[in-house]
């Protein structure tokens, strides 16, 4: 098990390293004349040169990367070229908002999706058909369409929820809830469909296994067999699906934040990438990569623990 | 919003092989959802191709007077915030959308399929490296990467879709790799290698055909996702703003949501319906793939053409009880199990019932071992399942009774049946490894039923489990108790299953070919074990098998089954000494035990 | 002395270790055996004995890491793919599982002409050969247009045999070809094997776990246990009066379909195991 953990951690570190290197070099090649873009067309050549020197852009590329890297390893991701704000600060101030949305959506997805999937697999009938239909629709229709629909329906026409804007939990819990409900639901709806379908599939597969019949033959009731044994075996695939959904939701959050005017990382990402603000983009890439790596590591560890072949070895 | 794909649901190899032959496309045309979605997509593509002819207005012509005009008049769907005709813009947006999606799919397929073919067929280091890269790509949130890529490439639709194609290639890779690796292991590929076919020939002949269908299905699904992502990027204003796009129209409608809420519908419908059509198309293709031929459950041995089935109505050949000298040592007790005219069938989708057991009547007495012998397809295993009321999905008892000490199991409630299982009737399965839950220790699987059925405490159950493990001949009971199923051998697993079956002191044991999956030497030991246990606990044993030697070794009485009926029954000694039914006789004739040896090789000059 | 057709000389097959620190697995530990032209050599063993590995090594499907396999004097242990291809008209195979050894997506005709395509035979000749082969294995001539799933297990094995015969081989490796078949079908397929050998003079390396099956068909028999040959000799002697303790256990462990005889065999087996245990104990005490 220890070797398993170490291998996964190493894999994660490599991922972050590779990503940052590739991103850095790609960004460099596209920056064009950054200094000019920052200072505007009016600036004189001399000021531009000075800015370039200030930002270290006239140094050889590997040196620039080395510079960035040495700072990054110490926790300093530099300053935004356009706003001058410290990158770390720019990211962390918005991170919690986005994470609230994504984690909230994942939790809802997990609970509703798993329950629907199990019911569909064990009871069949109408719920089963419903889940199958929903899974196709939910899978197909882009989440942001759902978000738009929700906004127009709930916020504009009926004023039930706050249509836009975000209120921090500290300021007013009820307002906070009102402001995040629609975005979280919008994000969740699309992924619930996918998760329910997957869970349904793996529970059906598990039910077909020989050992289910043997356990029944010993006098165990259907309920016990499903909820203790089948679920345990289907938990692994379910976790994988949820992890994948979480990653997808990170992306989805970017658009949803735009629709609901929520001050999360989405805005930062959009701004940074369209302007070519290299330190900020690097910081965002690192942040995203770290989140994904940590999540996958947690899921992998959990899966490894769940799977006796990994936990105990052979 | 998810850009995820359920690429984990790869159809089984058998399904793919069946479908490779049949024409998927032709069958799709019979599927209403399939043809509906395909039709819709064709209409959309044509509309996009003929947009210049169909559109009533120039999509870029902005008429300041007609800003936010209501639908009707010359603006069929209304005009947007800048005075453009919505319908025209919808039509002209089709082409770049489709082209972008096509590009993404083409790139993803080209990379993914090639990589999947190579790694699936050749394996080794390439597969490891490719898998690692695939996980890397799949781990990244699509939108974030695309945005970062956009910072590098600029607002080019094709550039973005190209990068997106790369991001999506792992989906193709996974599916193709899994299919190819599975087929690669099939014996017919080995046979082709022995026949001397080159790799290229093998791939084109055996492997590509299997890859075709899942790749097409995936392509449809991926296209839908590409369109959705494209719309998303356009919505954010990151697409090419000089050309009409559905996402861009959404932005426009959204900014005017208070003044002209209706306008949100048109681009939403365009995007939603197209994505849905693609998803439904992929789904119907997958449904047709799985339904390729009516898949019968593949049992280990397929039924041979049934040899001399009993003519309907004829009673089984009965052997008279034998002369005292041949009586088995212990007096058989009273009747434990008695089936009368038992019939079992499976419900078919078209409403009919396929019968697998027709009219089985047999009796097992307390302390007696009754063998149920037959070839594959004879219905012997189905009879065993029916007695336990554990038939697979779709199966049910169509007629007859199963009497066990007063209760008719055929009509008992499920709750009452659950109480009987384990406590009164127990089951020993055929395949040891697949009949143990891989997620729990052997010890917990032994103690759980005992605690429920016998009401033992945790400590008592553990004690009893260890005793049982020792009784069935496991050398280190504690170690096996703590172990997981994957850590023990087949022979040990079968002993564990036997221990589990007798753990709650049942009166009747039903053993379904308990030694077929074991080596001959292990089989002999397990048969000894069964004999000892049966004698010690005085259980009745119904032993299903296809091996006459096993019957001769263990059974007191035997019934011969063929095509769902019992053709001959009686005490083992008299039936073996004098088989009367033609089918039984043919079975005995096929036995090789007394065959003459070949003798040493005679080399003649004429021989090769 | 007749020239041997196949000479297996102290062959070892070792699979490399999985991952970092595992130990490599030795499937065959120095196996020596030979087959004369037109002979059937039976190879008996339980799971893990290496019998299937040996068959696959002869076919070039398992890596030979020690010793040599010689066919008509030529060393075939380490042939390249191209060189192996030239052997395909000499050495062929019939596998155990009739359900996965034929591609379910191809017609019988396509399956049977597959080996012929390597030899660039004309279509007319190929069709004619297919009809000949179907006749040899007693299948109807119209079978060519049908798919494998329309045939029973026994019939599919016949098709597999026909495929093996397509190129007129001199040696066929039969890897448990009747183990997955019903009793009555087994007898018929074995009779077919015998008939073909008598007619064409082809040799068989017949792998099986069943002593009775092997006895019926083989001139000489080898018994394998954990990667080694423990007994090797005349078929009748090895399968009826074995000398090695393992073969003796193997023989007595298989139940005979006669209740009276089986009771005797059970007693014999018990005595044998007792004796062997005593002998082992004594050997242990002395050593």
pLDDT tens, position by position, B418-461: 999 989 999 999 999 999 999 999 999 999 999 999 999 999 99
Look at residue A13 and tell me whether its pLDDT is greater than 60: yes
Closest partner residue to B279 (CB to CB) among A136, A273, A293 is: A136
Chain B CB within 8 Å of residue C10 CB: no
Report which of residues C80 and B608 the model is more confident about. Answer: C80
DSSP assignment letter at B518? S
Per-residue model confidence as pLDDT tens digits over C8-42: 999 999 988 766 667 888 899 999 999 999 999 99
Q: Does C265 share its domain with C227?
A: no
- Best C89, C100, C159, C236 member to test B by mutation, with max B CBs in 10 Å, is C100
Q: Does C205 share its domain with C280?
A: no
- Cβ–Cβ < 8 Å for C42, C218: yes
**Residue keyed to tokens 């003079």:** C201
What is the rounded average pLDDT of the residues B494-520? 92
Q: Assign B235 a pLDDT band (cuts: 50, 70, 90).
A: confident
Q: Does B282 share its domain with B346?
A: no
- Greatest mean pLDDT among A87-96, A164-173, B477-486: B477-486
What is the rounded average pLDDT of the residues A35-45? 70
**Residue B412 belongs to a domain with what CATH number?**
3.40.50.300
Please check whether residue C40 lies inside any domain of the structure. yes
Is B2 close to A214, i.e. CB distance below 8 A?
no
Chain A CB contacts of B153 below 8 Å: 30
Is B429 close to A210, i.e. CB distance below 8 A?
yes
Please check whether residue B191 lies inside any domain of the structure. yes
What is the rounded average pLDDT of the residues A242-258? 84
Q: Does B278 share its domain with B379?
A: no
- Comparing B58-62, C65-69, C202-206, C273-277, the range with the smallest average pLDDT is B58-62
Please check whether residue C132 lies inside any domain of the structure. no
The DSSP bridge pattern shows strands C171-175 and B565-571 to be: unpaired
Give all strands (DSSP E) within B305-443, no chain letters: 317-318, 335-347, 353-365, 369-374, 395-404, 407-408, 425-428
Look at residues A242, A246, A238 and name the one whose alpha carbon lies nearest to residue A288: A246
Look at residue A163 and tell me whether its pLDDT is greater than 80: no
Per-residue model confidence as pLDDT tens digits over B537-594: 999 999 999 999 999 999 999 999 999 999 999 999 999 999 999 999 999 988 876 6
The pLDDT > 70 percentage for chain C reads 97
Is A148 close to B264, i.e. CB distance below 8 A?
yes
Distance in Å, alpha carbon of A87 to nearest chain B alpha carbon:
16
Whole-angstrom Cα distance, residue B414 to residue A222? 10
Look at residues B336, B339, B364 and name the one whose alpha carbon lies nearest to residue B420: B336
Is B152 close to A197, i.e. CB distance below 8 A?
no
Q: Does C203 share its domain with C284?
A: no
The pTM of the full predicted model, rounded to 2 decimals, is: 0.82
Question: Please, which residues 400-459 of chain B have a Cβ atom closer than 8 Å to chain C?
Answer: none
Chain B CB contacts of A146 below 8 Å: 1
Please check whether residue B300 lies inside any domain of the structure. no
Look at residue B303 and tell me whether its pLDDT is greater than 60: no
Q: Assign C64 a pLDDT band (cuts: 50, 70, 90).
A: very high
Please check whether residue B20 lies inside any domain of the structure. yes
DSSP assignment letter at B423? T
Is C149 close to B293, i.e. CB distance below 8 A?
yes
Distance in Å, alpha carbon of C150 to nearest chain B alpha carbon:
11
A133 Cβ contact partners less than 8 Å away, ≥ 6 residues apart: none
Distance in Å, alpha carbon of B326 to nearest chain A alpha carbon:
35
Phi, psi of A281 (to 5 degrees): -60, -45
Q: Does B504 share its domain with B584?
A: yes
Look at residue B482 and tell me whether its pLDDT is greater than 50: yes
What is the rounded average pLDDT of the residues B306-319? 51
Chain A CB contacts of B140 below 8 Å: 19, 247, 288-289, 292
C258 Cβ contact partners less than 8 Å away, ≥ 6 residues apart: B552, B576, B593
Q: Does C19 share its domain with C55?
A: yes
- Comparing A84-93, A289-298, B330-339, B400-409, the range with the smallest average pLDDT is B330-339
Please give the pLDDT value at position C287. Answer: 58
- Nearest chain B Cα to C113, which residue? B195
Burial of C40 (0-12, 13-18, 19+ CB in 10 A): buried
Please check whether residue C62 lies inside any domain of the structure. yes
Please give the structure tokens belonging to residue A252. Answer: 């989805």
Look at residue A130 and tell me whether its pLDDT is greater than 50: yes
Is C255 close to B549, i.e. CB distance below 8 A?
yes
Closest partner residue to B587 (CB to CB) among C183, C253, C260 is: C183
Q: Does B340 share its domain with B224?
A: no
Chain B CB within 8 Å of residue C40 CB: yes
Complex-level ipTM = 0.86
What residues make up the domain containing C208?
1-90+172-178+198-241
Q: Does B26 share its domain with B113?
A: yes
DSSP assignment letter at B556? S
Please check whether residue C141 lies inside any domain of the structure. no
Look at residue B280 and tell me whether its pLDDT is greater than 80: yes
Please check whether residue B326 lies inside any domain of the structure. no
Chain B CB contacts of A240 below 8 Å: 8
Closest partner residue to C103 (CB to CB) among B188, B523, B524 is: B188
DSSP string for residues in B331-349: PP-SEEEEEEEEEEEEE-T
Look at residue B333 and tell me whether its pLDDT is greater than 80: no
What residues make up the domain containing B470?
332-589
Burial of B545 (0-12, 13-18, 19+ CB in 10 A): buried
Q: Does B347 share its domain with B270?
A: no
C19: number of Cβ within 10 Å: 6
Is C257 close to B588, i.e. CB distance below 8 A?
yes
Q: Angle at CA B433, nearest 5°, toward B13 and C25?
A: 80
Counted across chains A and B, CB pairs separated by less than 8 A come out at 242
Chain C CB contacts of B595 below 8 Å: 212, 215-216
Please check whether residue B276 lies inside any domain of the structure. yes
The pLDDT > 90 percentage for chain B reads 38
Is B597 close to C239, i.e. CB distance below 8 A?
yes
- Cβ–Cβ < 8 Å for C228, C239: no
Chain B CB contacts of C93 below 8 Å: 190-191, 194
Report which of residues A44 and A262 the model is more confident about. Answer: A262
Q: Could you give the number of structural domains in chain C?
A: 2
Look at residue A153 and tell me whether its pLDDT is greater than 80: no
Q: Does C2 share its domain with C84?
A: yes
Please check whether residue C167 lies inside any domain of the structure. no
Please give the pLDDT value at position A29. Answer: 67
The pLDDT > 70 percentage for chain B reads 87
Chain C CB contacts of B210 below 8 Å: 105
Please give the pLDDT value at position B276. Answer: 87
Q: What is the rounded average pLDDT for all residues in chain C?
A: 90
Q: Does B272 share its domain with B337?
A: no
- Best B19, B187, B192, B431 member to test C by mutation, with max C CBs in 10 Å, is B187
Distance in Å, alpha carbon of B282 to nearest chain A alpha carbon:
10
What is the rounded average pLDDT of the residues A131-135? 79
- Cβ–Cβ < 8 Å for C257, B552: yes
Whole-angstrom Cα distance, residue B439 to residue A312? 11
Please give the pLDDT value at position B178. Answer: 85
Look at residue A95 and tell me whether its pLDDT is greater than 50: yes
**Residue B138 belongs to a domain with what CATH number?**
1.10.3720.10
Per-residue model confidence as pLDDT tens digits over B199-224: 888 888 888 888 887 888 889 888 98
Q: Assign B324 a pLDDT band (cuts: 50, 70, 90).
A: very low
Please give the pLDDT value at position B320. Answer: 59
**Residue C61 belongs to a domain with what CATH number?**
3.40.50.300
Q: Does B27 share its domain with B116?
A: yes
Please check whether residue B89 lies inside any domain of the structure. yes
Q: How many helices (H) and strands (E) does chain B have?
A: 23, 11
Q: Does B261 share its domain with B407?
A: no
- Nearest chain B Cα to C48, which residue? B519
Please check whether residue C128 lies inside any domain of the structure. no
Whole-angstrom Cα distance, residue B79 to residue B70? 7
Touching subunits of C (3+ CB pairs, under 8 Å) are B
Please check whether residue B595 lies inside any domain of the structure. no
Whole-angstrom Cα distance, residue B90 to residue B250? 11
DSSP string for residues in B166-195: HHHHHHHHHHHHHHHHHHHTSHHHHHHHHT
Please give the pLDDT value at position B443. Answer: 94
Chain C CB contacts of B197 below 8 Å: 85, 114, 117-118
Q: Output the CA torsion B512→B516→B517→B519 (10° steps).
A: 140
Look at residue B7 and tell me whether its pLDDT is greater than 60: no
Chain B CB within 8 Å of residue C253 CB: yes
Look at residue B305 and tell me whether its pLDDT is greater than 50: no
Please check whether residue B72 lies inside any domain of the structure. no
Per-residue model confidence as pLDDT tens digits over B358-395: 989 999 999 999 999 999 889 999 999 999 999 988 88
- Cβ–Cβ < 8 Å for A68, A78: yes
Is C182 close to B375, i.e. CB distance below 8 A?
yes
Chain B CB contacts of C92 below 8 Å: 194-195
Buried b (16+ CB within 10 A) or exposed e, B487-525: bbeebbbbbbbbbbbbbbebbbbbbbbbbebbbbbbbbb
Q: Does B273 share its domain with B342?
A: no
Q: Could you give the number of structural domains in chain B?
A: 2
Burial of C140 (0-12, 13-18, 19+ CB in 10 A): exposed
Alpha-carbon distances of B253 from A72, A159, B74, C264, rounded to whole Å: 43, 19, 19, 92
* SS3 label, residue B140: coil
Q: What is the rounded average pLDDT for all residues in chain B?
A: 83
Counted across chains B and C, CB pairs separated by less than 8 A come out at 210
Please give the pLDDT value at position B316. Answer: 67
Chain B CB within 8 Å of residue C51 CB: no
Buried b (16+ CB within 10 A) or exposed e, B85-95: bbbbbbbbbbb
Please give the structure tokens belonging to residue B37. Answer: 């979605």
Is B136 close to A197, i.e. CB distance below 8 A?
no
- Nearest chain B Cα to A141, which residue? B272
Closest partner residue to B144 (CB to CB) among A224, A245, A288 is: A288
Chain B CB contacts of C179 below 8 Å: none
Please give the pLDDT value at position C173. Answer: 96
Report which of residues B164 and A12 the model is more confident about. Answer: B164
Per-residue model confidence as pLDDT tens digits over C113-168: 888 887 778 888 888 999 999 999 999 988 888 988 889 888 999 999 999 999 89
Please give the pLDDT value at position B5. Answer: 44
Chain A CB contacts of B217 below 8 Å: none
Distance in Å, alpha carbon of C261 to nearest chain B alpha carbon:
9
Please give the pLDDT value at position B306. Answer: 35
Phi, psi of B364 (to 5 degrees): -125, 130
The pLDDT > 90 percentage for chain A reads 5
Please give the pLDDT value at position B18. Answer: 63
- Best B151, B162, B272, B287 member to test A by mutation, with max A CBs in 10 Å, is B151
Look at residue C170 and tell me whether its pLDDT is greater than 50: yes
Whole-angstrom Cα distance, residue B261 to residue B44? 25
Please give the pLDDT value at position B607. Answer: 38
Look at residue B6 and tell me whether its pLDDT is greater than 60: no
Look at residue A273 and tell me whether its pLDDT is greater than 80: no
Q: Assign C105 a pLDDT band (cuts: 50, 70, 90).
A: confident
Chain C CB within 8 Å of residue B535 CB: no
Closest partner residue to B576 (CB to CB) among C97, C100, C258 is: C258
Whole-angstrom Cα distance, residue C95 to residue C111? 14
Please check whether residue C126 lies inside any domain of the structure. no
Look at residue B298 and tell me whether its pLDDT is greater than 50: no
Chain B CB contacts of A220 below 8 Å: 418, 422, 448-449, 452
Per-residue model confidence as pLDDT tens digits over B592-603: 766 677 777 776
Please give the pLDDT value at position B332. Answer: 52
């Amino acid at each position: 098990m220890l070797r398993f953990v170490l291998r996964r951690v190493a894999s994660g570190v490599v991922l972050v390293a590779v990503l940052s290197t590739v991103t850095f070099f790609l960004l460099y090649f596209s920056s064009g004349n950054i200094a000019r873009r920052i200072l505007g067309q009016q600036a004189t050549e001399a000021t531009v040169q000075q800015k370039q020197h200030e930002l270290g852009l006239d140094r050889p590329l590997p040196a620039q990367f080395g510079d960035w890297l040495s700072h990054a390893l110490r926790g300093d991701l530099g300053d935004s070229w356009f706003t001058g704000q410290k990158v770390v600060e720019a990211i962390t101030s918005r991170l919690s908002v986005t994470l609230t949305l994504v984690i909230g959506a994942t939790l809802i997805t997990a609970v509703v999706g798993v329950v629907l999937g199990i019911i569909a697999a064990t009871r069949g009938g109408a719920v089963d058909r419903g889940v199958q239909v929903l899974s196709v629709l939910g899978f197909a229709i882009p989440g942001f369409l759902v978000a738009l629909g929700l906004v127009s329906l709930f916020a504009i026409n009926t004023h039930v929820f706050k249509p836009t804007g975000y209120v921090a939990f500290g300021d007013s819990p009820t307002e906070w809830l009102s402001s995040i409900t629609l975005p979280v639901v919008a994000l969740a709806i699309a992924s619930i469909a996918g998760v329910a379908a997957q869970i349904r599939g793996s529970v059906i597969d598990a039910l077909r296994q020989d050992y289910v019949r043997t356990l029944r033959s010993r006098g165990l009731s259907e309920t016990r067999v499903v909820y203790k044994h089948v679920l345990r075996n289907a938990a692994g695939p379910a976790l994988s699906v949820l992890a994948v959904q979480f990653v997808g939701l990170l992306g989805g959050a970017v658009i949803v934040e735009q629709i609901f005017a929520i001050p999360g990382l989405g805005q930062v990402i959009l701004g940074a990438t369209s302007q070519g603000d290299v330190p900020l983009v690097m910081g965002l890439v690192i942040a995203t990569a770290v989140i994904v790596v940590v999540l996958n590591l947690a899921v992998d560890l959990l899966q490894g623990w769940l799977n006796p072949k990994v936990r105990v070895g052979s | 919003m998810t850009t995820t794909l359920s690429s984990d649901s790869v159809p089984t190899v058998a399904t793919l092989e069946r479908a490779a032959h049949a024409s998927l496309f032709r069958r799709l045309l019979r599927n209403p959802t399939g043809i509906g979605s395909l039709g819709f997509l064709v209409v959309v593509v044509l509309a996009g191709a003929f947009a210049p002819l169909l559109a009533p207005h120039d999509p870029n012509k902005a008429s300041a007077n007609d800003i936010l005009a209501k639908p009707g008049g010359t603006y069929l769907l209304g005009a947007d915030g800048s005075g453009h005709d919505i319908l025209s813009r919808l039509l002209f947006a089709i082409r770049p959308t489709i082209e972008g999606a096509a590009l993404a799919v083409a790139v993803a397929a080209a990379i993914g399929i090639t990589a999947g073919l190579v790694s699936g067929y050749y394996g080794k280091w390439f597969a490891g490296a490719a898998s690692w890269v695939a996980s890397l790509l799949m781990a990244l949130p699509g939108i974030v990467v695309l945005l970062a890529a956009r910072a590098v490439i600029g607002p080019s639709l094709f550039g973005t879709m190209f990068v997106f194609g790369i991001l999506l290639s792992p989906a193709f890779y996974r599916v193709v790799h899994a299919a190819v690796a599975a087929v690669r292991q099939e014996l017919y590929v080995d046979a082709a290698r022995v026949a001397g076919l080159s790799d290229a020939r093998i791939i084109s002949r055996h492997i590509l055909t299997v890859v075709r269908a899942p790749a097409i299905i995936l392509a449809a699904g991926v296209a839908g996702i590409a369109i959705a992502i494209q719309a998303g990027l356009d919505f954010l204003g990151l697409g090419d703003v000089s050309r009409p796009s559905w996402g861009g129209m959404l932005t426009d409608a959204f900014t005017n949501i208070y003044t002209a809420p209706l306008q949100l519908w048109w681009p939403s419908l365009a995007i939603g319906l197209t994505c849905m059509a693609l998803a439904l198309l992929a789904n119907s293709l997958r449904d047709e793939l799985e339904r390729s031929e009516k898949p019968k459950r593949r049992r280990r041995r397929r039924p041979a053409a049934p040899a001399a089935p009993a003519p309907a109505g004829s009673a089984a050949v009965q052997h008279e009880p034998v002369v005292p000298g041949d009586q088995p040592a212990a007096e058989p007790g009273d009747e434990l199990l008695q089936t009368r005219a038992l019939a079992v069938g499976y419900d078919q989708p078209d409403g009919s019932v396929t019968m697998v057991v027709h009219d089985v009547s047999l009796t097992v007495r307390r302390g007696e071992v009754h063998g149920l012998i037959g070839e594959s397809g004879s219905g012997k295993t189905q009879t065993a399942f029916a007695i336990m009321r554990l038939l697979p999905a779709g199966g049910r008892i169509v007629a007859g009774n199963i009497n066990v000490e007063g209760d008719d199991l055929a009509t008992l409630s499920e709750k009452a049946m659950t109480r009987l299982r384990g406590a009164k009737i127990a089951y020993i399965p055929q395949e040891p490894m697949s009949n143990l839950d891989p997620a729990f220790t052997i010890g917990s699987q032994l103690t759980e039923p005992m605690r429920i059925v016998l009401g033992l405490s945790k400590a008592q159950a553990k004690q009893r489990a260890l005793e049982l493990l020792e009784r069935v001949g496991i050398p280190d009971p504690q170690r096996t108790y703590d172990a997981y199923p994957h850590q023990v051998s087949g022979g040990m697993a079968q002993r564990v299953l036997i221990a589990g079956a007798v753990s709650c002191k049942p009166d009747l044991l039903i053993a379904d070919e308990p030694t077929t999956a074991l080596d001959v030497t292990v089989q002999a030991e397990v048969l000894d074990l069964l004999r000892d246990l049966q004698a010690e606990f005085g259980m009745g044993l119904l032993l299903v098998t296809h091996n006459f030697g096993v019957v001769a070794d263990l059974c007191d009485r035997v019934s011969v089954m063929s095509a769902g009926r019992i053709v001959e029954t009686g005490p083992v000694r008299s039936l073996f000494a004098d088989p009367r039914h033609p089918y039984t006789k043919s079975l005995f004739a096929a036995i090789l035990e007394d065959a003459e040896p070949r003798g040493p090789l005679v080399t003649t000059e004429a021989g090769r | 002395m007749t020239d041997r057709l196949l000479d297996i000389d102290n062959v070892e097959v070792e699979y490399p270790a999985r991952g970092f620190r595992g130990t490599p697995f030795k499937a065959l530990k120095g196996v020596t055996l030979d087959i004369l032209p037109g002979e059937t050599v039976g190879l008996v063993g339980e799971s893990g004995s290496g019998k299937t590995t040996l068959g696959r090594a002869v076919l070039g499907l398992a890596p030979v890491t020690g010793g040599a396999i010689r066919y008509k004097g030529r060393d075939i242990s380490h042939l390249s793919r191209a060189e192996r291809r030239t052997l395909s008209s000499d050495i062929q195979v019939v596998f155990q599982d009739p359900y996965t050894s034929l591609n379910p997506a191809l017609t019988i005709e396509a399956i049977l002409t597959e080996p012929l395509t390597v030899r660039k035979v004309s279509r007319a000749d190929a069709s004619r050969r297919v009809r000949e082969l179907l006749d040899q294995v007693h299948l109807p001539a119209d079978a060519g247009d049908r798919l494998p799933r329309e045939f029973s297990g026994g019939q599919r094995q016949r098709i597999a045999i026909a495929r093996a015969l397509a190129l007129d081989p001199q040696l066929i490796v039969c890897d448990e070809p009747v183990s997955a078949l019903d009793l009555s079908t087994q007898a018929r397929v074995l009779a077919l094997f015998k008939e073909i050998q008598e007619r064409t003079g082809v040799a068989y390396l017949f792998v099986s776990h069943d002593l009775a099956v092997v006895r019926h068909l083989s001139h000489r028999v080898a018994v394998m246990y954990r990667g080694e040959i423990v007994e090797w000799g005349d078929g009748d002697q090895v399968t009826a009066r074995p000398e090695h303790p393992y073969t003796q256990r193997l023989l007595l462990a298989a139940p005979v379909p006669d209740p009276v005889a089986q009771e005797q065999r059970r007693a014999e087996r018990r005595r044998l195991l007792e004796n062997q245990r005593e002998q082992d104990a004594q050997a242990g005490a002395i050593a």
